[in-house]
Amino acid sequence: MVVPPPLPARVRWSHSLLVRSLVVITLWMVAVSVLVFGQLYQHLNTETLEHAIDDYDIIIGLSAKKIEQALWDLDQHEVNVMLEHLTSVEGYCGARVLQSDGGVFAERDWPALSQSHAHNVRLFTRDIFSESYARDGGPLQKLGSMQVCGNFDHINEKTRHLLDNIIMAMMIILAGMLVSYFYSFQIFFRPILSIGLSMQQLARSWLPITDPRLLQPNEIGHLARSFNLMVAELTQAQKAIQDEIQKSKHEADKNVLLRTIAGAANQAQNTDYILQRSLEEVCLFTGWAVGHCFLLEQATGRLISSRTWSFGARTRFAALVAETEKSAFKSGQELPGLVLQQRSAAWIDKPDQLKKFARGTLLAEMGLKGGAAFPIFIEDKVVGVAEFFATTPVQPDIDLANLMENIGVQIGRVIERGWHETALKQAMRKTEEAGLAKAEFLSNMSHELRTPMHAILNYAKMGGRDVEAGRTTNIYRYLGNIQIAGDRLLKLLNNLLDLAKLESGKMDYAIALHDLKEITTYAEVELYPLFQSKNLTFSVVCEATNTTAFFDPSAITQVLINLLSNAIKFSSPNATVRLRLKNAPDQKDFLQVDVVDEGVGVPDAELVGIFDKFVQSSKTKSGAGGTGLGLSICYQIITQHGGKIWAHHNTPAGAIFSFTLPARAN
């Protein structure tokens, strides 16, 4: 596209069409005026001179008739009177009367022609005849002649005055033309030039005409207002086009952003990568300075830092990073908490809003004046919050909020996928552990079953030999040992059957309101020989205001015996085992039972997994015997009663196994 050269700020006079037109008109009018006024001057001058000559002839003729009689009578006095009267007329500078012989009969103010201005003085001569004599029938007789000098200075004066008037008229006409040109320049040429310059500005910056001299109620003003209307319409059209282009570009950028994040989400190997990539892409798209992501801690319901930031944040905003990563926010607390509470975007559109937040002072010191936070969803649940801060206030933007909601869904899917992958890995690990535990369990079960079976078979074989030999001394001892081994074998089989029923949900409970303190007494009586065998001290501490709860006595007795048996098994001789009853501090209307021992304890990593079936503690499974089913059976019974069971450390040594039971009907 060829760009035309810019208009000059001023147009040269020689290039102005108006100047050229006025010069041509002026020259033409001057030429016409000179021609017309010259012809008029010549005509008036000639006509005035001819009139003056005619007047001379008439006056001289009249004077000659009057002098004729006086000359006939030779009355010199009368002639002098006539000449004096004649010379008194304007334009007559002298007169005389000559006789027929040429002599001067009379004269008045007769100048010497040589001394007069020849071009201004003219001599008029008139012969005088005796007409009266000729009327009497005689011939004409020349009596003499009359000479008159006429001065035309007054005629030239009138002509000069006329010429001055003509020149004055031409000067007035020229002045009028100059005034007309100046006025035309002001009201016509300058506005047109200004409109031209405005059109040049229009082509570059869409500026309307604002000069009040161009907006007068006349033709130029009408043209200027029409120009302004055109500018307004063009400006509006251009703005609409620019807005549409900007909108299209913004939509394209949003689509690129979504595609980029979606692509990164599909290729992401871990959650941290997609979080950081998403934060950085959003910062690039919006121009925000820093971005960070919080994740919801499922156990506490608090938002904790994911320790994932946009690129460069740890260098540029180290203090903010340190403060944020050690913070946790509840619902409604600070900007992330607001998002968690209202499940929608939150904005910091005024710097004063920073004062409401604990990190507000730190943000202000770093030059951050605005921010925004958006929820991260998995299905309909908020699982995280992405927060951003900018160096300028961030105004609420519905379109941006919708965009960030889509991005939050993408991030949520990655987080969910990460959860599933983690859960899958944990499940696989648990499956492997369960397989190993099952193999170990089968090994233990084989050993446990084989031991009493061997005892039964061996004692039966030994008894048979003694009977054949007629020896009956040891028969009763053999039978007693066979009964002990059989009881142990029966117990193992009962545990397997109980666990199978519990897991299948086929265990029937007779749940009713019972006194838990009575159950502890039954357990103490049953386990008394075991306490005595290791010289253990057993005590029951009751801190509960009411020891009644809803439970099945048989099932809870089994739980207490299992827990107390473990405490006895893993306690050193002469130690103390305590059973404590109290109101559950974290569960209203629940009764809590604590079994406290001073044994080897349970490692931290095994406090939760110890209740899984086929699992034994690494500190207790070596040489302690057991099948790893007791705690699993306890867990199933307590949870099916609506309570909880867990393990924790005893200070200074040992472990505490606690469970709760509902004190009110549920």
Range(s) of the chain covered by CATH 3.30.565.10: 508-662
CA 520 to chain centre: 70
What is residue 400's predicted lDDT score, i.e. its pLDDT?
81
Q: Is the pTM of this model over 0.95?
A: no
* Residue pointed to by tokens 């050193």: 572
Tell me: pLDDT of 45 over 70.
no
Of 569, 444, 431, the residue nearest 496 (C-alpha): 444
Query: How far is 196 from 4, CA to CA, in rounded Å?
Result: 14
> Which has more confidence, 493 or 581?
581
Query: How many other CB atoms are found less than 10 A from the CB of residue 382?
Result: 20
pLDDT, position 626: 58
Residue 30 CB partners (closer than 8 Å, separation 6+): 170, 174
CB of 48 closer than 8 Å to CB of 155 = yes
Supply the pLDDT for residue 525. Answer: 87
pLDDT for 577: 94
According to DSSP, the β-strands at 537-542 and 576-583 are parallel
Host H or E run for residue 482: helix 475-504
**Domain at 268-396: CATH architecture:** 2-Layer Sandwich (3.30)
pLDDT > 90: percent of the chain:
16
Confidence (pLDDT) at 3: 43
CATH 3.40.50.300 fits 508-662, yes or no: no
Token output for 282: 């959003």
d(CA 75, CA 191): 86
pLDDT digits (tens, 9 = 90+) for 147-189: 878 776 666 676 777 777 778 877 887 787 777 777 776 666 6
Note the pLDDT of residue 5.
47
- pLDDT tens for each residue of 103-124: 888 887 776 554 444 556 777 7
Can you tell me whether residue 629 is helix, strand or coil?
coil
For residue 434, pLDDT beyond 50: yes
Q: How confident is the model at residue 7 (pLDDT cuts 50, 70, 90)?
A: very low
With tokens 């010259």, the residue in question is 38
- The CA distance from 557 to 637, in Å, is 11
pLDDT at 167: 80
- Segment 336-388, tens digit of pLDDT: 999 999 989 988 888 888 888 888 888 888 899 889 999 988 888 898 999 99
Range with lowest mean pLDDT among 14-23, 442-451, 555-564:
14-23
Question: How confident is the model at residue 560, as a pLDDT?
Answer: 93
Confidence class for position 4, pLDDT limits 50, 70, 90: very low
pLDDT in tens, 606-632: 888 888 766 666 655 544 555 667 888
pLDDT of residue 645: 94
> Which residues of 113-202 form beta strands (DSSP E)?
121-129, 142-151
- The pLDDT value recorded for residue 538 is 92
Looking at every residue in the chain, the average pLDDT score rounds to: 78
Predicted pLDDT of residue 390: 92
Q: What is the DSSP string of 460-479?
A: HHHHHHHHHHT--TTHHHHH
- In this prediction, what percent of the chain has a pLDDT beyond 70? 72
Q: How confident is the model at residue 582 (pLDDT cuts 50, 70, 90)?
A: very high
The pLDDT tens digits of the residues spanning 228-275 come to: 777 777 778 878 888 777 776 666 666 666 666 666 666 656 777 778
Label residue 458 exposed, middle or buried (CB < 10 Å: 0-12, 13-18, 19+): middle
CA dist 552 and 45 (Å) reads 155
pLDDT band, very low/low/confident/very high, at 548 (cuts 50, 70, 90) = very high
Alpha carbon 518 to its chain's center = 72
Average of per-residue pLDDT across 557-585: 91
Query: What average pLDDT does range 628-639 have in this prediction?
Result: 86
Ranges for all domains in the chain classified under CATH 3.30.450.40: 268-396
**Is 286 strand, coil or helix?**
helix
**Which residues lie below 8 Å from residue 73, measured CB to CB, with a gap of 6+?**
none
Beta strands in 392-544 (DSSP E): 512-515, 537-542
* Cβ atoms within 10 Å of 424's Cβ, excluding its own: 10
Q: For position 201, what pLDDT does the model report? A: 62
pLDDT at 423: 84
Residue 377's beta-bridge partner residues?
382
> Which of these, 229, 193, 195, 281, lies nearest to 16 by C-alpha position?
193
Report in angstroms the alpha-carbon separations of 128 from 89, 122, 125, 135, 388. Answer: 21, 20, 10, 15, 134
Report the Cα–Cα distance between both ends of the chain, in Å, rounded: 86
Q: Which residues pair with 151 in a beta bridge?
A: 121
pLDDT band at 2 (very low <50, low <70, confident <90, very high): very low
Average pLDDT over residues 94-103: 80
pLDDT for res 91: 66
Q: Which has the higher per-residue pLDDT, 28 or 197?
A: 28
